[in-house]
Amino acid sequence: MHHHHCMPHHDHTPWHMMGRAGTGRGWSRGHRGRGPDGGGFRIGKMLADGDLRLVVLALLAETPRHGYDIIKALEEKSSGIYSPSPGVVYPTLTYLEEAGYAIAASDGNKRVYTITDDGRAHLDEHRDAADTVLAEMERFGRKMARARAWYDWAEGGPDKPSLAELDKARRRLRALIADAIEGSDEEQKRLADILNRAADEILGKH
């Protein structure tokens, strides 16, 4: 364990105005919108590494969570606008574990992370920054959700059932894929086989 690790210093600059730590990417370069559906708004690009670690730590302070639970919680808090990939979430959890801020235990084929006393102390020290980031994420998410709803209405299909069902299916599938990342080889192969069969069916292959 490397208990001496420190996260980057936080000030009270709104998180969406901060550049990505060490890259010089700020709002103008990190945010590449494709439209009001929010699909191109890369909230992750706006979060400095230290911000994301604090946010994940704050979520762990609420309850122990799997990596999949972190992804779902951030989706919910951002009104579905921010859905971080496993490739972002799991390295963050690994960092928190190595820093001594969280511990991981096996839960079947997956790992569940629990905050430690050191983690709570660190979070308490930076609680204002963590709360600010979460509040801004929720505010931005609601704003983008409203913009998406307006766009759907303007396009004449605010509640198109078929589109809503497709989006729901996409979200379920994405969550299952994320959950399989930490599953067994057998589970991953089974899911891959199912997805390939589904793709063949969509393409009309027999």
For 2-23, the pLDDT digits (tens) are 444 444 444 333 333 333 333 2
User: Model confidence over 23-47: pLDDT tens digits?
Assistant: 222 222 223 333 333 333 446 555 7
The CA-atom distances, in angstroms, between 52 and each of 8, 99, 101, 106, 170 are 11, 15, 14, 23, 25
Helix (H) or strand (E) holding 145: helix 127-154
- β-pairing, 102-107 vs 110-115, is antiparallel
Q: What is the mean pLDDT of residues 132-152?
A: 80
Q: Is the pTM of this model over 0.75?
A: no
User: Model confidence over 101-137: pLDDT tens digits?
Assistant: 999 998 888 899 999 999 999 999 999 989 988 888 8
